[in-house]
Amino acid sequence: MKEGELDAREEALAAVAREAGERARRLFSNPSGVKLKGLQDFITAADGEVERLIIERLKARFPRDAFLGEEGGVQGSGDALWIIDPIDGTANFAYGIPHFCVSIGFLSGGEPLLGAVAAPMYDELYVARHGRGAFRNGRPIRVASVEIGQALIELGWSSRLPAKAYTALLERVLATGATFRRAGSGALGLAYVADGRNHGYCELHINSWDVAAALLLVREAGGWTNDFFAGDAIAHGNAVLACAPQLKEALVAATGVGQANDKLERRIS
């Protein structure tokens, strides 16, 4: 993709992330249409409304681009792909907890080039562009410099994998000397790795719309991530590990994510 074409998308991305965040903020004060789409897997009317807003705005400017949204699936085809999670942290949103965000990533030729994560209840907008750094509200951010014994690792959970996979992961991470938390938004958990607020994030299966924007934030903030987009991760998800670089060795060994012979079956046994 030519520089000028990417400039146009970067500018549109920041504007639409702000607008979508503002819409989500308004809807948060009066959530409606809360339903379960699976075990502990929420959807609200706001998810659909915010996703339609984002796609409408981006399509008007880039009609030939393709879109993958958590709620609406795929629209269009081609090399330029926007991946959208309109509300990440939907359970928090539904319960009236302000820890949620809007996540929009842009990939060209399968490579993440732009990402924005808007956390409207905190007035925070994270943006990154490949090779140009990562920013919160316009200020550059960096991953933290702590060692494993002081590290705070966020562990994501969903009902997509058996509970024993999660408890085994938790035990192995605690054995490194790190502590953990689960705050319920994968995209924000990863953005916080980029911002030094978390020191790592691991989840044994997560969908591409949860990570498409934030993995770029982590890399652009000096962090390390596994090769999430290898294989069919855009359509079916993958394991994710992202951390400050000095924690990579300990966390790859503890989680198994990022090892050369890494296999999901092995990690959940």
Q: Which helix (H) or strand (E) holds 115?
A: strand 111-119
Q: Give the nearer residue to ligand IPD in terms of CB position, either 142 or 170.
A: 170
Nearer to ligand IPD, 154 or 220 (CB): 154
**x-or-dash string of contact with ligand IPD, 169-198, rule CB under 6 A:** ---------------xxx------------
Structure tokens at 167: 């408890």
Choose, from 154, 210, 220, 262, the residue flagged as catalytic: 210
Joined together, the tokens standing for residue 137 give 């509200």
Report the site for ligand IPD in 60-79 (rule: CB under 6 A).
Answer: 70
Measured in degrees and rounded to the nearest 5, phi and psi for residue 243 equal -165, 170
The answer to whether residues 104 and 17 touch, using CB atoms and an 8 Å cutoff, is: yes
Q: Which is nearer to ligand IPD, 103 or 108 (CB)?
A: 103
- Which residues, including other chains, have CB under 8 Å from residue 167's CB and lie 6 or more apart? none
**What is the C-alpha separation between 54 and 169, in angstroms, rounded?**
35
Closest distance of CB 5 from ligand IPD, Å:
29
Tell me how far, at minimum, the Cβ of 90 lies from ligand IPD, in Å: 4
**Could you tell me if 243 and 153 are in contact, meaning their C-beta atoms sit under 8 angstroms apart?**
yes
Q: At CA 176, angle to CA 182 and CA 251, rounded to 5?
A: 70
Q: How far is the CB of 85 from ligand IPD (least distance, A)?
A: 5
Residues contacting ligand IPD: total by CB under 6 A: 15
Length of the chain equals 269
Select which of 10, 88, 195, 262 is catalytic: 88
Instruction: Establish whether 232 is a catalytic residue.
Output: no
- Alpha-carbon Rg for the chain, nearest whole angstrom, is 17
Interaction of residue 158 with ligand IPD, rule CB under 6 A? yes
Kindly state the smallest distance separating residue 208's Cβ from ligand IPD, in Å.
11
Q: Which residues pair with residue 228 across a beta bridge?
A: none
User: Active site includes 85?
Assistant: yes
Q: Exactly one of 21, 69, 89, 200 binds ligand IPD (CB under 6 A); which one?
A: 89
Q: Which residues are catalytic?
A: 70, 85, 87-88, 90, 210
